């Protein structure tokens, strides 16, 4: 297993060398515990329009082709010590 982990890391490093993330679309994901409260804030208070997704995983598109995704995860909402960012490559 350790050997395959090294292979994946080497493959990832090689892949990153060929990608220019400076020119890629970026977005982030955030856990919420209460969908009604989240929608009231992002849609009602901030005036954002939901673009895609389901009742448990949805996205808001913002300026300059950026976006962020909210997903239902009561156990993680407000407790995560990490940031989730994704690049569209």
Nearest to 40 by CA among 70, 75, 80: 70
**pLDDT at residue 31, rounded to an integer:** 87
For the chain, 89 residues long, the average pLDDT of each consecutive 10-residue run is 47 57 77 90 89 87 84 80 67
* CATH, range 24-81: 3.30.720.120
pLDDT digits (tens, 9 = 90+) for 44-53: 998 988 888 8
Bridge partners (DSSP) listed for residue 32: 72
pLDDT digits (tens, 9 = 90+) for 28-37: 888 899 989 9
Give residues with Cβ within 8 angstroms of 67, minimum separation 6: 25, 27, 51, 59, 60, 61
Each domain of the chain, given as residue ranges in start order, spans 24-81
Predicted TM-score of the model (pTM): 0.63
């Amino acid at each position: 297993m350790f050997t395959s982990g090294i292979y994946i890391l080497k493959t990832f490093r090689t892949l990153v060398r060929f990608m220019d993330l400076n020119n890629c679309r970026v977005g982030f994901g955030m856990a919420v515990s209460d969908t009604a409260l989240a929608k009231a804030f992002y849609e009602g208070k901030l005036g954002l329009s939901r673009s895609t997704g389901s009742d448990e995983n949805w996205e808001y598109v913002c300026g300059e082709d950026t976006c962020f995704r909210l997903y239902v995860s009561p156990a993680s909402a407000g407790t995560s010590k990490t940031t989730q960012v994704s690049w569209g490559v």
